[in-house]
Amino acid sequence: MADVSLRKVVKRYDDVEAVRGIDLDIADHEFVVLVGPSGCGKSTTLRMIAGLEDITDGDITIGGDVVNDVPPKDRDIAMVFQNYALYPHMTVAENMSFGLRLKHYPKAEIKSRVAEAARMLDITDLVDRKPKQLSGGQRQRVAMGRAIVRNPKVFLFDEPLSNLDAKLRVQMRIEIKKVHQKVRTTTVYVTHDQVEAMTLADRVVVMNKGKIEQIGTPNELYHKPATRFVAGFIGSPAMNFVPCRLEDAGGKLNVRVTDRFAFPVPSARVARYQSVPRSEKLLLGIRPEHLTEANGHAAPGVESFETVLDVTEPMGMETLVYFTLEGTQVCGRVNPSAGARDGAPLRLAVDLNNMHLLNEETGAVL
């Protein structure tokens, strides 16, 4: 077990800079998820930690040792691939024990380690089968088993659930979390799925265009995003962004969205936004869950307004409603019993206690 550090790590392919000088510290036992859209450099970062890609510049340390030039086999890491990468001609047990056999472990120990991992992953009955006789979920378990038996310093997961169907993905997600709770090995996990990132991670690293946008616990990222990218990437449906500006109105501070709509900034937030120039172009960030049906009771920071819905999406436990505000499509989440219908008017309440103001130009959250 070990900590992992990245110092100003750069990866350049010819003239394309895939990773642009990232710094990251991963503590021992920690489960860190790298998340971002495709091409953001997350997989490249993982492969550099694994030693499958050379680093162009910077330092990577595992357990305090700089491993920039250390081949993968000497880094004491194990990796789980998206397409499982099981050896097709070997049985499950042979797949899992391949690394140990190469290192000439005693037979008895190999056997007990494989049995232990198989028990942990509930694949004891499958150890004599070949990969092609297994389902996708079972293959993924074997791939994890192959990582576990090695008892490495670091686990690396490269989009391990992307090839599974939605239901199995949820199940395996829980499985991975359970395994981590048992073995407590430092884990770096790459995914493009923000739900996976939020549910698995101790800390999430949001990457975009080769840079780290923000590092934080899932809750921090959700409630205190640092940039527009993070605010829009984390959470589903995504946060709404509506063009707005600040204005003073009789000693109070208002967020003016349209000529028709202006909401008073909750008193707790006034100090934070007071210094923002009134002429600056801003974005009002509101998550759909803070845009619900008005219940008639006044609450501090909650403002209600009337709108006509464009489209409604009944989800069962909630209904997503879409309407247009200042030319921008906005999504809200209302109770299924609120009577939301396509094309019908509805009174909505916006909870400004959870509002975000962003600089439209820089994307920074104020």
Partner 1 sequence: MSTLAIDKAGPTRKVKLGSISRDRVWALRWSYFFLTLFAVFSLVPPIYMLITSLKSSAEISAATDPWWVYHPTLENYIALLTSNQFLRFFWNSAWVAIIVVTVTMLISVPAAFALARMKFWGSATLATGVFLTYLIPDSLLFLPLFKMFAKFSDWTGIELINHWYALVLVYPTLTVPFCTWIMIGYFASIPKELDEAALIDGASWFQTLTRIFIPVALPGLIAATIFAFTVSWAQFLYPLVFTTSTDQLVLPVGIITTLVKGDVFNWGQIMTGALLGAAPPLLIYAFLMDYYIAGLTAGATKG
Work out which of 21, 58, 63, 72 binds partner 1, going by CB under 8 A: 72
Phi-psi region of 83 (alpha: psi -120 to 50; beta: other; left: phi over 0): alpha
- Residue 152 Cβ vs partner 1, minimum distance, rounded to whole Å: 9
Supply angle C-alpha 185, 189, 190, rounded to 5: 170
- Contact (Cβ atoms closer than 8 angstroms) between residue 70 and residue 50: no
**161 sits near partner 1 (criterion: CB under 8 A):** no
> How many DSSP H helices and E strands does the chain contain?
9, 21
- Which residues are paired to 314 by β-bridges? 319
- Residue 158 Cβ vs partner 1, minimum distance, rounded to whole Å: 9
Of 82 and 187, nearer to partner 1 (C-beta) is 82
- Which residues, including other chains, have CB under 8 Å from residue 50's CB and lie 6 or more apart? 72, 75, 77, 79, 156
Owner of token pair 């790298």: 34
Eight-state DSSP code of residue 76: -
- Residue 99 Cβ vs partner 1, minimum distance, rounded to whole Å: 4
Residues between 78 and 137 that touch partner 1 (CB under 8 A): 78-79, 81-83, 85-89, 98-99, 102-103
- Residue 142 Cβ vs partner 1, minimum distance, rounded to whole Å: 12
- Contact (Cβ atoms closer than 8 angstroms) between residue 296 and residue 254: no
From edge to edge, which strands make up the β-sheet containing 302-308? 291-293, 345-351, 302-308
- Residue 184 Cβ vs partner 1, minimum distance, rounded to whole Å: 21
- Contact (Cβ atoms closer than 8 angstroms) between residue 188 and residue 31: no
**283 sits near partner 1 (criterion: CB under 8 A):** no
Residues between 29 and 68 that touch partner 1 (CB under 8 A): 50-52
Stretch that binds partner 1, among 38-46, 75-83, 215-223, 248-256 (CB under 8 A): 75-83
Work out which of 16, 64, 71, 166 binds partner 1, going by CB under 8 A: 71
Of 79 and 120, nearer to partner 1 (C-beta) is 79
What are the residues binding partner 1 (CB under 8 A)?
Answer: 50-52, 71-73, 77-79, 81-83, 85-89, 98-99, 102-103, 146, 150
